[in-house]
A = this chain, B = another copy of it.
């Protein structure tokens, strides 16, 4: 025995993705990075808003004694207050600084939320396709992630969810705008989901939480509005970050917010505070807390992602690729022209295009294109996409 069996297992299962990245690196070495079209990573390529650089400089310049020290595990009360004020407006709910806890990004937020609510054996349901890391997050804290199919347009299938909820269900985890599909759930569906969780909670005599992972909330196109979670269901928790909307994923800053109307609000807040500490996060990075406090509501130039989406969608549609146009995020999730999405990703790789097979998101038969890249990469990749689909015509 050398390392944990579970970790050993994760490493071995992840090896196919690692292999992909290694082969991608090899391609870049062989053909030059500019001749490889890398759509594999959701690493935002737009620069942070100019205001960010300004605020970062001001914050550093004004640092005084103690400004890099510990603060409450939930974050600076002033920072939580700024977030709460914005969130109250966004969510149309009376959020205060007590209900907001700063975290190391959305993945930190989801881990502390799940640590707080999961007992061994509890299940977390999530609509598929989904972000693959959710499985690990639930497993980290003794839970199990179960996926539930969505409708053909990747919208919530409330009947399927209703059937899937069982006495072990502790939470439903949603992500809208969605990675990898780019879809946004409409308000009616969220309200219906809230009613379903309320009903099932009563039936099974337990609180079923709705956890909303929403780092892409601000990245939406064509005037789409992402509805409030807090008005849809009272036992809801938001986990999110500033990673995508202001392009600072490496700085690990986000927050978790508990619905001010949640039944066991104080337990949740106390639990999240403890979980943030004992999981080793302790607190969200001090300096970035103070920076994002002043950036409420700001974002990168979203119209640039909209333009990239349009270039990509117009190009691929013309070649015969089938997809649901994303309403948000910087992901497109087309159908693979052949059922085996891993094989099709390999075919694309032979054409120097790197994408992630849909199987990696519990969405087999599809593939994910992260279009947070320069316009030129999208444009120059078009002949390669064309060649790949031609093989199956």
Q: Which residues of A contact B (CB under 8 A)?
A: 1-8, 10-11, 14, 41, 43-45, 47-48, 53, 56-57, 60-61, 63, 65-71, 104-105, 107-112, 115-119, 133, 136-137, 140-141, 206-207, 247-252, 263-264, 267-268, 270-271, 274-275, 277-288
* Contact for A278 among B5, B10, B263, CB less than 8 A: B10
Contact B133 A278 (CB under 8 A): yes
- Considering the chains assembled together, what is the distance between the CA atoms of A278 and B283 in angstroms? 18
Which B residues lie within 8 Å of A66 (CB)? 45
- Considering the chains assembled together, what is the distance between the CA atoms of A6 and B29 in angstroms? 50
A-B contact pairs, 19 of them (CB 8 A): A2-B268, A10-B274, A41-B70, A57-B60, A67-B250, A68-B249, A68-B250, A69-B248, A70-B249, A105-B280, A107-B280, A109-B280, A137-B280, A140-B279, A250-B286, A251-B286, A251-B287, A252-B252, A252-B283
Contact A4 B252 (CB under 8 A): no
Can you add 4 more A-B contacts, CB < 8 Å, to A3-B267, A111-B279, A252-B282?
A68-B251, A69-B250, A104-B252, A251-B285
- Considering the chains assembled together, what is the distance between the CA atoms of A275 and B136 in angstroms? 10
Which B residues lie within 8 Å of A71 (CB)? 250
Which B residues lie within 8 Å of A111 (CB)? 279-280
Report the minimum CB–CB distance from A97 to chain B (whole Å): 17
* Contact for A250 among B7, B70, B264, B268, CB less than 8 A: B70
Contact B104 A7 (CB under 8 A): no
- Considering the chains assembled together, what is the distance between the CA atoms of A393 and B4 in angstroms? 54
Which B residues lie within 8 Å of A67 (CB)? 250
Minimum CB distance partner of A284 in chain B? B252
Which B residues lie within 8 Å of A47 (CB)? 65
Which B residues lie within 8 Å of A283 (CB)? 250, 252
Minimum CB distance partner of A46 in chain B? B65
Report the minimum CB–CB distance from A292 to chain B (whole Å): 12
Report the minimum CB–CB distance from A289 to chain B (whole Å): 8
Which B residues lie within 8 Å of A275 (CB)? 7
* Contact for A118 among B2, B4, B137, B247, CB less than 8 A: B4
